[in-house]
Amino acid sequence: MTNLLADNRPVIGDTRPSATSLGTREHVNPATGKAQAIVSIGGPAEIDAAARAAVAGQKAWQDLGPERRRDCLLRLADLIEADAPQLLQMAALECGTPLSSNSSGLALSWIRYYAGWADKIEGTCSEPLGIHGLAYARHEPIGVIGVIIPWNSPLVAISMTAILAMAAGNAVILKPPTQTPFVALRFGALALEAGIPAGVLNIVPGDAEAGEALIAHPAVGKISFTGGDAVAKAVMRTAAEHLKPVALELGGKSANLIFADADLDKAAAMAAGCSLVPLAGQGCVLPTRVYAQSAIFDEFVERVRAHAQTFTLGDPLDMATVIGPVINEAAAQRIMGVIDRAKAESGGRLVTGGRRGQGDLAAGSFVEPTVFAGVAHDSHLAREEVFGPVLSIIRFDTDDDAVAMANDSRFGLGAYLHTHDLSRAHNVAARLESGCVAVNGMLPMAPNQPFGGVKQSGFGREGGRPGLEEFMQIKQILLHLHPR
C-alpha cells in the first residue's frame, strides 16, 4: 500500500470519519493491476451528514463577504500549487495519468480565475414599467450544490465545477467516484487549510447509492453532473422527481475536419496528439473522429501514423511516458472489443496499434495508441464514444459532405476544423452543431470561455460568466416610490 493514498477518510464539515456506512474496497493501480490502497465508500448516511454540514457552511461562507471568499480561494490555489507534485503523483497512481501531462496548471488557472469573480458578482437596476418605482435584481447563491465528477481527471474536474459553485457563494457536496477518490480528498483537506469554512466543501466518495441520495436530498438545490449519457438519464430522472435543476457535461464524439488547404504537419500532430495522448484518450472533448479531404487523405493518414508511433506507452510515474494505462482492466477489455470489431468491419484498415501493452506492461490496463483509416462514417467506431486511445479517420470530398457527416451524430460537445480559408473557417464553424468549435488547433479549456455541449452532450456551461450563473439564482426586488 502506498502512503500517498493512505488517507481515505471523507471530508464532512471539519470531520474526517474513519469508517463509512458502506464499508471499504481495495483500490487497484491501473498501471500494475495490483491492489495499492483502501477506498472508504460513502452512502446515504454520509451524504446526509455532509448536507447538514453544507447548510451551516454555506451560511458561514456567505457571512464572510465577497472579498474574504476571494482571498480564501486564492489561498487554496496557492496551497494546491505548492502541493502539485504530490497531487500529480496521486493522480498517476489512482487513474494512470502520466506525470508528464501536468494537469495542475489548468486546474490552477480555473481556481484563480473564479476566485477573481467572487467579489465581482453584480445585479441589474431598472425602472419598472407601469409604476413609479425602482426595480433591481440580485444574483444570489442557490445554497448547496451537489457535484458528481468522473474519474478521468479529478483535479481539473473539481476546478471546473465545485470551484465555480463556491465562487458564487454556495456550499458543495462533491461525490468523486470510488475509482479515483484520493485527489478529491486531498483537495478537500487543502480547502480547510486555506481557511474556507467547514462544510463549504464536503467530499464523499461513493457509488450509485451515494449519488442517488445526493440528488434526492432536500438540502441540495442543484446538481452538476459530469459523465456519460446513460448515467445522466438516471440523474435527470431522480432530479425530476424532486423538481431539481441539473447541469450536465456529457460525452462526445468530436469531429475534426481536415481540409485540403490545411497545414498538414500541424493538423496531423494535433489529430494524433490531442486524441490519443490526453488521459489515454479518455476525454469527452477529444477529436477522435477525423474527416480528411480526399485530395490529402493518404498523405494525412501517413503523417498521423508517424506521430502516433512516437508516443511512449508506460509507467505514469516515469516522466518519459506519454500515454499511461486506461482506468481499469474492464475498460481495457471494452476498448479492445471496439478495436476487434473495427478490424472485422468492412472499409477501415488498422494503421497502427491495436494491441494491449506488451512485456512489463501486460499486467496493467494498457492499450496501444490505435489509428484506423478509411473508416465508414456509419460504422460503430465512427459513431460511438470509445473513451480510449483509438482514432478513426474518414474520407470526405466537399465542404457540405464534411459538415453533414460531422453533424450526423447524437453528440455535440466539441468540433474542430483545419483550413487556411478564413471564409470557410467562419462558415463551417457556424454550421457545426456543437457547443464549442476550434479552428486550426485544440480547445484550450480556458476558464474565461463558456464550455459545454448541445444535443446529447449535455446542457449548461462551465467557464466565464455563464459558468458562474449556473450556480446562482435571480431575485427581483421592487420598490414602490411615491412622487413628491
- Establish whether 249 is a catalytic residue: yes
481 belongs to a structural domain: no
341 belongs to a structural domain: yes
Is pLDDT above 80 for 316? yes
Is pLDDT above 70 for 2? no
Q: Are residues 97 and 244 in the same domain?
A: yes
Q: Are residues 208 and 76 in the same domain?
A: yes
Is pLDDT above 80 for 257? yes
Q: Binning pLDDT at 50, 70 and 90, where does residue 347 land?
A: confident
- Mean confidence (pLDDT) of the chain: 97
Q: Are residues 131 and 217 in the same domain?
A: yes
Is pLDDT above 90 for 311? yes
Residues 278 and 275: their CA atoms lie apart, in Å, by: 7
Q: Are residues 260 and 225 in the same domain?
A: no
79 belongs to a structural domain: yes
Q: Are residues 82 and 209 in the same domain?
A: yes
pTM equals 0.97
Q: Please give the backbone phi and psi of residue 49, each rounded to the nearest 5 degrees, phi first.
A: -65, -40
Residues 72 and 68: their CA atoms lie apart, in Å, by: 6
> Of 190, 183, 188, which Cα lies nearest the Cα of 171?
188
Q: Are residues 218 and 272 in the same domain?
A: no
At 125-149, the pLDDT tens digits run: 999 999 999 999 999 999 999 999 9
User: What are the residues facing 459 on neighbouring strands?
Assistant: 248
How many domains are contained in the chain? 2
Is pLDDT above 70 for 306? yes
Task: Determine the average pLDDT of the residues in 90-119.
Answer: 97
What CATH number is associated with residue 465?
3.40.605.10
Domain that holds residue 387: 255-447
**What residues have CB less than 8 Å from 31, skipping those under 6 apart?**
92, 96, 315, 316, 317, 324, 325, 364, 365, 366
18 belongs to a structural domain: yes
Q: Residue with C-alpha cell 463549504?
A: 200
Is pLDDT above 70 for 323? yes
484 belongs to a structural domain: no
The reported pLDDT for the residue numbered 54 is 99
Per the residue annotation, which of 249, 385, 462, 470 is the catalytic one? 249
> Of 10, 9, 6, which Cα lies nearest the Cα of 175?
10
483 belongs to a structural domain: no
The reported pLDDT for the residue numbered 471 is 99
Q: Are residues 60 and 206 in the same domain?
A: yes
The reported pLDDT for the residue numbered 482 is 87
What CATH number is associated with residue 357?
3.40.309.10
At 404-416, the pLDDT tens digits run: 999 999 999 999 9
154 belongs to a structural domain: yes
Task: Determine the average pLDDT of the residues in 288-309.
Answer: 99
The reported pLDDT for the residue numbered 484 is 74
Is pLDDT above 70 for 1? no
The reported pLDDT for the residue numbered 345 is 85
The reported pLDDT for the residue numbered 437 is 99
What is the secondary structure of 385-435 as a DSSP string?
---SSEEEEEEE-SHHHHHHHHHSSS--SEEEEE-S-HHHHHHHHHHS-SS
Q: Are residues 350 and 241 in the same domain?
A: no
Q: Please give the backbone phi and psi of residue 137, each rounded to the nearest 5 degrees, phi first.
A: -120, 130
268 belongs to a structural domain: yes
Task: Determine the average pLDDT of the residues in 433-460.
Answer: 98
At 34-73, the pLDDT tens digits run: 999 999 999 999 999 999 999 999 999 999 999 999 999 9
Q: Are residues 327 and 206 in the same domain?
A: no
Residue 426, classified by CB atoms within 10 Å of its CB into exposed (0-12), middle (13-18) or buried (19+), is exposed
Percent above pLDDT 90 for the chain: 98
At 14-38, the pLDDT tens digits run: 999 999 999 999 999 999 999 999 9
> Of 318, 310, 306, 304, which Cα lies nearest the Cα of 275?
304
| Rounded (10°) CA dihedral 328, 330, 336, 342 | -120
Judge contact between 429 and 437, C-beta under 8 A.
yes
Q: Are residues 232 and 315 in the same domain?
A: no
Q: Are residues 192 and 259 in the same domain?
A: no
Q: Are residues 465 and 352 in the same domain?
A: no
